[in-house]
Structure 1
Amino acid sequence: MTTPGEDFRFDICGELSAEANGHVPVNVQGVITKTLPAGRCAVVRHVGSYENISDSVYYLYNTWLPQSGEELREFPVYFQYLQLNEELPEHALQTDILLPLK
């Protein structure tokens, strides 16, 4: 039996400065160093609100993938937020959704 929260994990990725030497220092928050694995990905660009970003994810899994002949790699889908600007209107937000492939 799993406890609440064990079925879902949310990772956040960021770039480290040169002073960090590629590693997050030990911290009380439990933040650790990980690296995105190299490899091929299908990419779709979602434009607009994050509220309906799942529509773009479903498109990749349910429409594009079955028609592509590609196979999934053992790594979850991930997002690259192209702007982090609170002043940007929702309709102008752009996010790349990356689906790792074999």
Structure 2
Amino acid sequence: MDENLNQVDKKLNNLTPEQKQKILDDFEDFKSYLGKQVLRGEKLGLSEETLAKGAKFVAEHLAKNEDPQNSEQNLLQELWKVTQSDEEKTTLSTLLVRLVQQ
């Protein structure tokens, strides 16, 4: 795992259950949180590809460890489940990064 993904993993593991629940309760809160992390990565000079890798890592974590809290998260989880290749997961992750950059 490269250093950037180690940082993402560390950040996820450092969230308290209350912080995690607040982020997951509302899709706008989730987008805001992810947007802040993407902005932080951009300020560090990370490429869109690297940001997408981080989003992909988070998506894998959420798909394996968290139940969707709302219809938007349910849709994202269903889309994640039907991806058939790593390339499709990368594309979905890239689109998620672009969504929160707006």
Q: What TM-score do the two structures reach when normalised by structure 1?
A: 0.32
Of structures 1 and 2, the one with the larger relative CO (CA 8 A, separation 6+) is 2
The structure carrying a bigger strand percent of its residues is 1
The structure carrying a bigger helix percent of its residues is 2
Q: Considering only CA atoms, is the larger Rg found in Structure 1 or Structure 2?
A: 1
